[in-house]
Amino acid sequence: MGPGVVVTGLTLGALAVVSLLAFQANGAQDRAGGAKPTVTTTATGTATAAAPSATPTPVAPPLPATSGTGTRVVYSIGSHYVWLVDPKKSPQVAAAFQVVPGSVEPTPGSYAVYSRTPTGTGADGRQIEHVVRFAQQNGVVFGFGAAVDGAMPTADPKAKTGGIRSGRAEGQLLWDFAPKDTKVVVVA
């Protein structure tokens, strides 16, 4: 095999890789744009984040009355919903969306975001992004994050995990809304 054949093979391989990456990148903007939830308001004045789809999106429960005041992320253990609340805006609820809890729930109370990681690996081995941590209790770290593959499986009850999973678009919303020191209120 001559050097020309090797160079041609390498060139064709490189072109295939570049073509694949260009193909993936071509749709990435549409996927990212199309995946962003829109904010709608319910009859009670509560805003909800709704991902565009052919099926109706469930209406979020109203913001719990015991969720505190000020700019905050509210997580309900009972309904497994998250609300992003900014009292300076109208409506105050910037977004609300359903999440899947880890196998362990945090104790109700007020916390603050203490750590953020753009990407990592979840306890289930999946690649995750937009990780926003707010509490540690009995060796379990609690935080929000989204699986890169979009999966939101139920947590393995045998593993002690405090990761609260959202969809990717909702994970992006939470990441943008909750920098370090943002209040997180956990309600029953």
Average pLDDT, consecutive stretches of 10 residues, N- to C-terminus, the chain (188 residues): 46 36 37 39 41 59 95 97 96 96 97 97 91 97 95 88 96 98 98
What span, in angstroms and rounded, lies between the C-alpha atoms of 139 and 109? Answer: 18
Label the pairing between strands 81-85 and 140-147. Answer: unpaired
Length of the chain: 188
Give the pLDDT confidence score for residue 34 in this predicted structure: 38
Query: For the chain, what is the radius of gyration of the CA atoms?
Result: 20
Which residue has 């707010």 as its token pair? 134
What span, in angstroms and rounded, lies between the C-alpha atoms of 128 and 171? Answer: 10
Residue 73 carries which side chain, given as an amino acid letter?
Answer: V
Which residue has 């196998």 as its token pair? 103
Q: Is 86 exposed, middle or buried (0-12, 13-18, 19+ CB in 10 A)?
A: middle
- Would you say the pTM of this structure is higher than 0.75? no
Nearest by Cα to 129 from 168, 182, 73: 168
Buried b (16+ CB within 10 A) or exposed e, 10-46: eeeeeeeeeeeeeeeeeeeeeeeeeeebebbeeeeeb
Q: Which residues contact 3 (CB under 8 A, 6 or more apart)?
A: none
Phi/psi at 179 (5° precision): -70, 175
Beta strands in 51-168 (DSSP E): 72-76, 81-85, 93-98, 109-112, 115-121, 127-137, 140-147, 162-166
- Chain centroid to CA 131: 8
Q: Which two tokens stand for residue 136?
A: 């540690």
